[in-house]
Structure 1
Amino acid sequence: MTSSPDGGDGPAGSKLRAPGLRAPGLGLLLAEMRSIFEFNASLMMSPLLLRAPKGDGHPVLALPGFLASDLSMAPMRRYLKELGYDAHAWQMGRNLGGLTRVRAALRERLAEIHANAGRKVTVIGWSLGGVYARDLALHAPDMVRYVVTLGSPFANDIRATNATRLYEALSGETVGEDPEFVKALSGDLSVPTTSIFSRSDGVVNWRTCLLRPSASAENIEVYLASHVGLGVNPAVLWAVADRLSQQEGQFSQFDRSGPFAIAYAPPERAQS
């Protein structure tokens, strides 16, 4: 079978490359309102979430999604700080898009955190923020320890989102106009990376979030998560904490056992 325009089944290789995907339908988009329940669930489960592996104090830079500000990443930064990480906001106001416009400032922010800590920085990006995170790893790998993306459209047909037209209108950029950049962005990074996504994402077609699994790269699918709720979903928070607890320079695939095991799809499902 081959990949269909609406993201039908096909070989793993074709799905990572094939154009012609569609943005999620109206039903999934309207269902994004469930994100408030994901946030409330994380609050209720905070004692359990704090049982995650403790951090080693290394710096973490959290990048918000399109139209969001540092406030959207505040729950994750607070959680990571409580676990022992040195979590930082991007401090660039609301994310109105435009990678070429913010690229220099982002590198300066990364360099500042890296210099102050004297350690490499893990970069976590939500949606568009994940695209920024991968771009940082491409151009400043000497300062990046790890990349985690949450519902970020960096692969396949990256126009398959419900935010593409608004992004282009506000940023003045055309999504996917530079094939070489898109190829580099979706390719293998020189640092460990994890892509967390959900098939029930109402903003981004989940296939645009798939990276090529390798000895230092993995996809983690979370059942029933919304796009807007990815940064506060308790199963996502647990997975992020688990991934960040790995020692620098080491990587092992995510163990889907534990208190939120029921929330994670088996790894092979990301390729089916």
Structure 2
Amino acid sequence: MQLLPPKLPNLRALPPIWRESLLPAEAASLVLDPVFRGHGVPAGHGRPVLLIPGYLAGDASLTTMARWLQRAGYRTERAGIRLNVGCGGATVTRLEERLEALSAAAGGRRVALVGQSRGGAHARALAGRRPELVSGVVALGSPLRDPLMVHPLVRMNVELVGRLGSLGVPGLLNSGCRDGDCCEPLRENLRTPLPPDVGYVSIYSRRDGIVDWRACLDPGAEHVEVDATHLGMGFHAPTYRAVAAALRRFRDAELGADEPAAAPLAAAA
């Protein structure tokens, strides 16, 4: 079975991948921004949030965001992923178990899912599978329309990992993950429309050096544009403001008619 389709997406408009080296500057700016100290961040009051890392990343990549949410009073849970290179179908099944446990530990509350890059696609699939347990999804730079609309160097890495997985190296995605049976439930979950009471926000950047920003524009999502690198979305102050606004919307929807209606999310400055 062919691992990847032969036609590469048109990525000539993608910013140079070297821009991802600006991550340290974005992280330094975050520490100085009022949002990092909680300004404008809705109080969590124990509301659960499950954080899902991106491709080639693990739980540690979202440590800064997790601690920020904890300071605001949210109950955060990691995905239990050391390196997100495994079969997507198997990963979402494991995440479903964590989702169930986190909701139960939070007294039956619905869980907000925040996923970066590939993790955002996992979050969307998980919400499609168990919408009754999810208050909303926030995807950060996630190729939701096509997982292979990425920089050619990253796509080459995906292909290499897939070939190793097909040769029997454990814990890696393989040729069946693109079109085979192992990930068919995941693909079906991604196509399943979310009910109105499950929020869905896709945050994207035209400066993204890894993912073609157009891949983030899922028609079913509310789109918020920021000016960040791909890796920097986990350390970028305007992205944090967009996440905070999304969580506020999820909270308001949970509380119902007693809360004032929230305005549409604005592009983060």
Judge same fold: TM > 0.5, yes or no: yes
Q: Distance in 2 between matches of 1:88 and 1:103?
A: 15
User: After superposition, where does 1:89-104 map in structure 2 within 5 Å?
Assistant: 89-104=78-93
Q: Which residue of structure 1 aligns with residue 4 of structure 2?
A: none
Query: Does 201-210 or 27-36 show the bigger shift?
Result: 27-36
Matched, 1:81 2:70: yes
Instruction: Pick closer, same or farther for the CA change 1:105–1:199 going to 2, 3 Å.
Output: same
Which amino acid in structure 2 is aligned with residue 148 of structure 1?
V
User: How far does residue 44 in structure 1 lie from its aligned partner after superposition?
Assistant: 1.4
Shift of 1:186: 5.6
Instruction: Measure, in 1, the Cα distance between the counterparts of 2:245 and 2:103.
Output: 22
CA contact (8 A) 1:187 1:212 kept: no
Percent of residue pairs identical: 33
Give the aligned length. 235
Displacement of 1:255 after TM fit? 3.8
Which of residues 221, 224, 248 in structure 2 aligns to 1:220?
A: 224
Cα separation, 2, equivalents of 1:183 and 1:210? 18
Partner Cα separation in structure 2 for residue 34 and residue 207 of structure 1: 21
TM superposition shift of 1:196 = 0.2
1:11 is matched with: none
Tell me: CA distance 1:152–1:174, structure 2 relative to 1, closer, same or farther (3 Å): farther
**Aligned counterpart, 2:238:** 235
User: Conserved in 1, the CA contact under 8 Å of 2:53 and 2:116?
Assistant: yes
Instruction: Give yes or no for the alignment of 1:28 onto 2:16.
Output: yes
Offset of residue 175 of structure 1: 6.5
1:24–1:205 contact (8 Å) kept in structure 2? no
Q: TM-score, with normalisation over the residues of structure 1?
A: 0.78
Structure with higher helix content:
2
1:23: Cα distance to partner? 3.6
Please list, as runs of the form range in 1=range in 2, the aligned pairs for 1:44-83 lying within 5 A after superposition: 44-46=32-34, 49-52=37-40, 53-83=42-72
Q: Deviations over 1:33-61 (max 9, x none)?
A: 01111111101114665112322321000
- What amino acid is the match of 1:239? A
Structure 1 residues 39 and 177: alpha-carbon distance in aligned structure 2, compared to 1, 3 A threshold: same
Q: Structure 1 residue 254 and structure 2 residue 242: aligned? A: no
Structure 1 pair 144–24 and aligned structure 2 pair: CA distance change class (3 A):
farther
Compute the RMSD of aligned alpha carbons: 2.5
| Whole-angstrom distance in 2 between the partners of 1:22 and 1:84 | 43
**Which SS does the other structure have where 1:147 is aligned?**
strand
Distance 2:211 2:192 in 1: 19
CA–CA separation in structure 2 for the residues paired with 1:67 and 1:197: 19
Shift of 1:87: 1.2
Gaps of 5+ in 2: 1-6, 162-172, 257-261
Contact 2:126–2:189, Cα closer than 8 Å, also in 1: no
Q: Which runs of 5+ in 1 are unaligned?
A: 1-18, 264-272
Offset from partner CA, 1:123-155 (integer Å, 9 cap, x none): 000000001001101111111110000000011
CA contact 1:55–1:245 (8 Å) conserved in 2: no
Q: Contact 2:14/2:208 (CA < 8 Å) preserved in 1?
A: no
TM-score (norm 2): 0.78
Change in 2 beyond 3 A, CA 1:56/1:21: farther
Deviation digits for residues 179-201 of structure 1 (CA, Å, limit 9, x no counterpart): 98657626642221000000110
What is the CA–CA distance in structure 1 between the aligned matches of 2:10 and 2:207, rounded to whole Å?
Answer: 14
Q: CA offsets per residue over residues 188-223 of structure 1, 9 Å max, x none?
A: 42221000000110000000000225xxx4100112
Structure 2 match to 1:109:
98
* Distance change in 2, residues 1:34/1:134 (3 Å): same
For the residues of structure 2 that align with 1:75 and 1:110, how far apart are their CA atoms? 21
- The equivalent of 2:194 in structure 1 is 189
Matched, 1:165 2:167: no
Contact 1:222-1:235 within 8 A present in 2 as well: yes
* 1:127 equivalent among 79, 103, 117: 117
Aligned partner letter, 1:98: C
The reply on whether 1:38 has 2:26 as its aligned counterpart is: yes
